[in-house]
């Protein structure tokens, strides 16, 4: 018999269909083509090819660079001087449209073409996380931008088109309904019960210790109770904080540490799986809110979303999060 679980922070449901349960080895990535070159002549992100990208927005590192942030050459949204929040919005009969104002940036995580994020050392990972915060803070000063999403696509199933290690950031001129709904459900929980729903989950997970994967001083990584896909991982600060902009240097260093640990665990158990991760945060103007709690969501791309999932917004998952947490922890002892 299947089990249906609710994500209390979003009220979304997941069906756990365990008859189709799979073992970790069934998910292992079909041998990824090994990238052996540190430099590729036509890669715009490789050291020495800086002229192939638009003008740099941020550089970290001396003697060349460790991190570069540049505008996306094919941006989903683009900045416009003198835009206002209302600017570009117009009705077309009953329909609403607006100009594609925003910002789309690429965070080039290393000068080396073949370096995997999961295998970076801690200083390199800290540079990545610190650059996220710097760009987040900078863009949040722009009143045209209402939401800033930082994300990483790893592998073709996760939608990446360039193999050189990179993350992305998109600032949008409105808060999309999907995010609005998460904020609304967290607010409703807070109104009903007087607590942050994420803090409540965190307290329970640490106490029960059935789905915890790892933790450090600042954050916890656990497999969510209603995980939407196998090896779904949530990384969340232990201290309540609604917006990523509030993270101080100490918490950012802890974020780099736990992100590195969890990505390495996935790399070892599933042999470098394709995945997406997203920093899910309240918008910067909601920093300090009591009901929302920023976190990082890691979604390995081991299955394809099919018709039922698209039609219902529900997910069918074949592995319980308790089993994912156990497998990841057991393997850590062996690697």
Q: Which residues carry out catalysis?
A: 166
Smallest distance from Zn ion to CB 187, Å:
12
From 27-35, 274-282, 293-301, 327-335, span contacting Zn ion (CB under 5 A): 293-301
Give the one residue of 293, 294, 317, 318 binding Zn ion; rule: CB under 5 A: 293
Say how far apart CA 137 and CA 248 lie, in whole Å: 12
Position 291 contacts Zn ion (CB under 5 A): no
Asked whether position 113 contacts Zn ion by CB under 5 A, the answer is yes
Per rule CB under 5 A, is residue 68 in the interface with Zn ion? no
CB of 79 to Zn ion, least distance (A): 26
Give the binding range for Zn ion (CB under 5 A) out of 135-143, 193-201, 279-287, 319-327: 193-201
Side by side, the strands of the sheet bearing 315-317 are 3-7, 12-16, 315-317
Using a CB cutoff of 8 Å and minimum separation of 24, what contacts does 62-67 make?
A: 64/111, 65/111, 66/110, 66/111, 66/124, 66/127, 67/107, 67/108, 67/109, 67/110, 67/127, 67/128, 67/131
How far is it, in rounded angstroms, from Cα 230 to Cα 233?
9
Instruction: Give the nearer residue to Zn ion in terms of CB position, either 112 or 259.
Output: 112
Query: Is residue 307 a contact partner of residue 283, using CB atoms and an 8 Å limit?
Result: no
Binding mask 234-253 for Zn ion (x = CB under 5 A): ------x-------------
Question: Which residue among 199, 213, 284, 316 contacts Zn ion (CB under 5 A)?
Answer: 199
3-state secondary structure of 56: coil
Place of tokens 């931008």: 145
Within positions 132 to 191, which residues make up the interface with Zn ion, using CB under 5 A?
164
Span interacting with Zn ion, options 98-106, 119-127, 252-260, 288-296, rule CB under 5 A: 288-296
Regarding 196 and contact with Zn ion (CB under 5 A), the answer is: yes
- Pair 113, 71: CB distance under 8 Å: no
| Residue count, binding to Zn ion (CB under 5 A) | 11
| The one segment of 129-137, 265-273, 292-300, 326-334 that binds Zn ion by CB under 5 A | 292-300
Smallest distance, Zn ion to C-beta of residue 20, A: 35
228 binds Zn ion (CB under 5 A): no
Report the distance separating Cα 289 and Cα 233, nearest Å: 24
Cα–Cα nearest to 98, from 174, 181, 169, 171: 174
Give φ, ψ of 258 to 5 degrees. -75, -30
Region for 258 from its dihedrals, namely left if φ exceeds 0, alpha if ψ lies in -120 to 50, beta otherwise: alpha
Q: Which is nearer to Zn ion, 133 or 166 (CB)?
A: 166
Tokens of 128: 């990545």
Whose Cβ is closer to Zn ion: residue 11's or residue 195's? 195
What part of residues 35-64 is at the interface with Zn ion (CB under 5 A)?
Answer: 40, 43, 45-46
Contacting positions for Zn ion (CB under 5 A): 40, 43, 45-46, 113, 164, 196, 198-199, 240, 293
């Amino acid at each position: 018999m299947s089990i249906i679980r609710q994500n209390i922070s979003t009220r979304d449901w997941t069906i756990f269909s365990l008859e189709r349960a799979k073992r970790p080895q069934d998910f292992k990535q079909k041998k990824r083509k090994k990238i052996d070159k540190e430099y590729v002549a036509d890669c715009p992100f490789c050291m020495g090819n800086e002229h192939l990208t638009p003008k740099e927005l941020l550089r970290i590192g001396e003697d060349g660079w460790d991190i570069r942030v540049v505008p996306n050459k094919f941006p989903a949204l683009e900045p416009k001087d003198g835009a206002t929040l209302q600017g570009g919005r117009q009705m077309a009969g009953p329909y609403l449209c607006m100009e594609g104002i925003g910002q789309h940036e690429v965070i080039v995580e290393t000068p080396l073409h073949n370096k995997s994020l999961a295998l970076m050392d801690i200083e390199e990972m800290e540079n990545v996380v610190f650059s996220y915060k710097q760009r987040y803070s900078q863009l949040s000063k722009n009143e045209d931008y209402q939401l800033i999403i930082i994300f990483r696509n790893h592998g073709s199933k996760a939608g990446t088109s360039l193999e050189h290690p990179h993350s992305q950031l998109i600032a949008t001129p409105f808060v999309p309904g999907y995010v609005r709904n998460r904020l609304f459900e967290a607010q409703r929980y807070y109104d009903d019960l007087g607590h942050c729903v994420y803090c409540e989950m965190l307290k329970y997970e640490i106490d029960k210790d059935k789905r915890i994967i790892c933790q450090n001083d600042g954050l916890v990584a656990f497999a969510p109770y209603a995980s939407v896909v196998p090896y779904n991982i949530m990384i969340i600060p232990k201290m309540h904080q609604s917006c990523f902009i509030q993270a101080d240097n100490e918490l950012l260093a802890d974020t780099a540490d736990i992100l590195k640990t969890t990505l390495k665990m996935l790399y070892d158990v599933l042999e470098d799986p394709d995945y997406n991760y997203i920093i899910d945060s309240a918008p910067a103007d909601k920093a300090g809110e009591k009901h929302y709690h920023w976190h990082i969501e890691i979604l390995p791309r081991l299955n394809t979303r099919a018709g039922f999932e698209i039609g219902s917004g529900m997910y069918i998952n074949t592995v319980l999060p308790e089993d994912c947490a156990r497998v990841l922890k057991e393997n850590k002892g062996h690697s």
